[in-house]
Amino acid sequence: MAFDRFARNIHYLRISLTDHCNLRCVYCMPEQMTFRPGQDLMQNDELLTLVRLFAGLGFDKLRLTGGEPTVRAGVVELVREMAATPGVRELTMTTNGVLLSRLARPLKEAGLQRVNISLDTLNPEQFHRLTRRGSFAQVWKGIQAAEEAGLLPIKINAVVVRGYNDHGVADLARLTEHHPWQVRFIEMMPFGGATDLQRSQVVRTEEIIARIEQVLGPLELLDHGALDGEARLYRLPGAQGTLGFISSVSLPFCASCTRARLTADGKLRLCLLREKEVDLLTPLRAGATPADLRQIILDGIWQKPWGHGLQEGEFATNRVMSEIGG
């Protein structure tokens, strides 16, 4: 088992399958983004070797992310191998949904359990403005395909950006009236100086809730406000689904953090919002033994920072979100 200095058992690994993406969301990366060349990324055998090592160290929960995980060649086979890895109990994915209409069923059959799909607005024009190239209709089809394939429960992630989609949050919340989905509103976080917008256009949870309540009436707080992962849950009275609020900026959840990240170029990233990383791919390529690599991972986890410093105005500048694996 892997513990950090603060006695937190770290057992949830978010794996970035690639830093490449078929969208260019304004809150995530610059429009002229440069992606890493293929040889700098973990190859399939390298990735699976590391996954087995992590699973052997008690990492029982894996989430595939990116960049966009579905654009990685052979993603279905990778999922099949990871799902069959001893020790892996939960295998999920965060995706923009663009390719799900084709991939949802094969991914489910390969052993993927659930998906979180990013959808920031129900307005096709706003969607295109936010993603700089995406089609709302395509993602909507992807969500339906995921539901039909049984990748349940469906969770929808919406990052709220002032001047882009802040006026549409009630429409997104309304989706839960007739769908058993969890619609999660995420406070925008700053990374790598990708854009000024990440700091100037943040909408805090308090305001998002007020905007929803103005249109749809008071929300019911669920579970007495206890966190479900990183989200605090609410419900519209009588709704089938729930609303989640991820308040990384206004209400950090660092104390209960159990996660680490593996970047597509093989670095163990200890906190999303801190620069500290431990290189795993270089020693792996240099012939390190499994025992050596296990020790490098355990030593890295021990050094996991207590939490982020967003409230003090500190943020990481060495990578943008798509390069870390959100």
CB of 23 to ligand SF4, least distance (A): 4
**Total Cβ atoms within 10 A of residue 23:** 22
CB of 60 to ligand SAM, least distance (A): 21
Q: What's 108's DSSP letter?
A: H
Q: Is the CA virtual torsion 23, 24, 27, 29 positive or negative?
A: positive
- Contacts of ligand SAM in 167-226 (CB under 6 A): 186, 188-189, 191, 198
**Is-contact 221 205, C-beta < 8 A?**
no
Task: Considering the complex, state which of residue 12 and residue 302 has its C-beta at the smaller distance from ligand SAM.
Answer: 12
Residue of 159, 243, 281, 301 that binds ligand SAM (CB under 6 A): 159
Residue of 16, 18, 70, 96 that binds ligand SF4 (CB under 6 A): 96
Instruction: Work out the angle at residue 29's Cα, subtended by the Cα atoms of residues 28 and 33, and round it to the nearest 5 degrees.
Output: 160
**Total Cβ atoms within 10 A of residue 223:** 11
* Contact stretch for ligand SF4 (CB under 6 A) within 23-31, 35-43, 49-57, 164-172: 23-31
Q: Indicate which of ligand SF4, ligand SAM, none lies near residue 189 (CB less than 5 to 8 Å, by partner kind).
A: ligand SAM
Cross-strand partners of 246: 186
- Contacts of ligand SAM in 32-91 (CB under 6 A): 65-66, 68
Cα 306 from chain centroid?
20
**Is-contact 174 214, C-beta < 8 A?**
no
Sequence-separated (6 or more) residues with CB below 8 Å from residue 126? 120, 164, 165, 168
Cα 208 from chain centroid?
20
Classified as helix, coil or strand, 16 is strand
Q: Indicate which of ligand SAM, ligand SF4, none lies near residue 24 (CB less than 5 to 8 Å, by partner kind).
A: ligand SF4
CB of 291 to ligand SF4, least distance (A): 35
* Contact stretch for ligand SF4 (CB under 6 A) within 18-26, 51-59, 80-88, 221-229: 18-26
* Contact stretch for ligand SF4 (CB under 6 A) within 65-73, 181-189, 213-221, 272-280: 65-73
- Cα–Cα distance between 217 and 236 in angstroms, integer? 8
What does the binding site for ligand SAM look like in residue numbers (CB under 6 A)? 21, 27-28, 65-66, 68, 94-96, 118, 157, 159, 186, 188-189, 191, 198, 321-322, 326
What does the binding site for ligand SF4 look like in residue numbers (CB under 6 A)? 21, 23-25, 28-29, 66-68, 96, 118, 321-322
